[in-house]
């Protein structure tokens, strides 16, 4: 069944690109705009269906995971190992983006007359200059219900950690609540299996809309910029995979097989949130214990978006190059640290990374209008960085499971 879904998604990608190009090549401008707006609703429906599951699933799985860990000491130990991985992976990703831009200078190839100013105005409405107060407000929830209603994953994580630790401290008295949340999590995962069959339709709508409006010729103008970015993604995959093989050994190939479908869905929908439930299920099938997955994966979605991190330094410095702005090494390292801080809790939805890039450019006196220069190609870049985010979080969860001695053999788990 999993193979059927994967093949359906691949077929939907090809069909979406084909239909989109037919519309782009033969229809009038008004029809293309209206077609893209209408067909994109298929992707919107799929992502909205998944987003209804995110908040209750993160809350229930994280609380159950913390409660199953047993005590604050265990939570601290596993959380410490996870944060060590997250910080290391984030720094490597940011540094890789910085090194690529300084070596290849992709910003010098960007043509300023291709700026997508309409989309830029939409992004401008979603961002503001970074301040410590705004960061604290973004992390600490004022209302658990508001955080869940708006899918603020980082705030949900903070509340869930407090709730889980408090529940664990009550021991046997809190077991009925933990059992209820455990059952709820499994029910939600069952819902996921239904929703995922809508993924091919969502993928078709998303790609058909982009190609109908932009056409395939977009690669002609941005080929160098896009090629260097994909090279960076390939290098990042190589680094992550190398570390994975060192720690997991031959089981790394099994992990690839388990996450192939989630990576493909994330790649085609440009939403890592869209695969959170499915990724949870696949990691447990791979052999990660439920209590580890339930604790690490939600944290990873807030602290460990490796593909997005790499792109943020790549895009920010490329925009500076496009405007002929020379940034010294100390300035670039400062930007890297700022991005390290401001990116935490970034939403796993399309173009979320660009909001951070926009705010960072304004902070370092880089014309924020420069974001419009990379918007036409951003959807295709987003596909690669989102797929990389899924790999990074799957690997982080698997590695921490191995470090904790909680990684079961997949064949034994299936037999059980």
Tell me the C-alpha distance between 274 and 252, whole Å.
Answer: 23
Cβ atoms 101, 415 nearer than 8 A = no
Is 411 exposed, middle or buried, given 0-12, 13-18 or 19+ CB atoms closer than 10 A? exposed
Question: At 123, is the pLDDT very low, low, confident or very high (cuts 50, 70, 90)?
Answer: very low
Cβ atoms 118, 375 nearer than 8 A = no
Give pLDDT tens digits for 359-393.
Answer: 677 778 787 667 766 766 777 788 898 899 999 99
DSSP, residue by residue, 37-95: HHHHHHHHHHHHHHHHHHHHHHHHHHHHHHHHH-SHHHHHHHHHHHHHHHHHHHHHHHH
Over pLDDT 90: what percentage of the chain?
20
Give pLDDT tens digits for 158-202.
Answer: 888 889 888 888 888 888 998 898 888 778 877 877 877 887 888
Residue 299 scores a pLDDT above 60? yes
Core vs surface per residue 69-92: b (16+ CB within 10 A) or e: beeeebbeebbebbeebbeebbeb
Residue 126 scores a pLDDT above 80? no
What is the number of structural domains in the chain?
1
How crowded is the C-beta side of 146, counted as CA atoms within 13 Å? 7
For the domain that residue 156 is a member of, what is the CATH number?
A: 1.10.3860.10
What pTM was computed for the model? Answer: 0.69
The closest alpha carbon to 84, from 282, 320, 243, belongs to 243
Domain range for 293: 2-415
Residue 117 scores a pLDDT above 50? no
Give pLDDT tens digits for 211-227.
Answer: 888 777 655 656 788 88
Q: What is the mean pLDDT of residues 50-55?
A: 76
């Amino acid at each position: 069944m999993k193979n059927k879904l994967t093949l359906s998604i691949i077929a939907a990608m090809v069909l979406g690109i084909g239909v989109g190009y037919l519309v782009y090549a033969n229809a009038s401008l008004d029809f293309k705009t209206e077609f893209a707006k209408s067909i994109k609703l298929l992707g919107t429906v799929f992502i909205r269906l998944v987003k209804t599951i995110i908040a209750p699933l993160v809350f229930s799985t994280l609380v159950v995971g913390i409660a199953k860990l047993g005590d604050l000491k265990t939570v601290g130990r596993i959380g410490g190992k996870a944060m060590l991985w997250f910080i290391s992976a984030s720094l490597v990703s940011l540094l890789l983006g910085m090194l690529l831009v300084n070596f290849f200078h992709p910003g010098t190839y960007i043509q300023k007359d291709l700026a997508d100013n309409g989309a830029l105005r939409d992004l401008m409405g979603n961002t503001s200059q970074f301040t410590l107060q705004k960061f604290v407000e973004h992390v600490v929830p004022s209302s658990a219900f508001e955080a869940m209603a708006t899918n603020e994953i980082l705030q949900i994580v903070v509340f869930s950690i407090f709730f889980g630790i408090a529940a664990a401290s009550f021991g046997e008295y809190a077991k009925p609540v933990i059992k209820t949340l455990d059952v709820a999590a499994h029910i939600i995962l069952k819902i996921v299996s239904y929703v995922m069959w809508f993924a091919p339709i969502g993928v078709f709508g998303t790609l058909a809309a982009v190609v109908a409006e932009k056409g395939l010729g977009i690669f002609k103008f941005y080929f160098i910029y896009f090629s260097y970015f994909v090279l960076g993604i390939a290098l990042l995959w190589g680094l992550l995979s190398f570390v994975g093989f060192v720690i997991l050994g031959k089981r790394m190939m099994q992990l690839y097989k388990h996450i192939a479908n989630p990576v493909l869905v994330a790649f085609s929908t440009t939403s890592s949130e869209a695969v959170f439930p499915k990724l949870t299920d696949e990691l447990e099938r791979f052999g990660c214990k439920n209590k580890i997955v339930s604790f690490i994966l939600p944290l990873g979605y807030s602290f460990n978006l490796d593909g997005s991190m790499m792109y943020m330094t790549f895009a920010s410095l490329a925009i500076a190059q496009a405007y002929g702005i020379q940034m010294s090494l100390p300035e670039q390292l400062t930007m890297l640290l700022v991005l390290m801080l401001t990116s935490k809790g970034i939403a796993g939805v399309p173009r979320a990374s660009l909001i951070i890039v926009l705010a960072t450019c304004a902070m370092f006196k880089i014309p924020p209008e420069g974001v419009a220069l990379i918007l036409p190609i951003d959807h295709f870049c987003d596909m690669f960085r989102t797929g990389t985010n899924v790999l990074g979080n799957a690997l982080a969860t698997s590695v921490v499971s191995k470090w904790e001695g909680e990684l079961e053999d997949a064949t034994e788990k299936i037999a059980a």
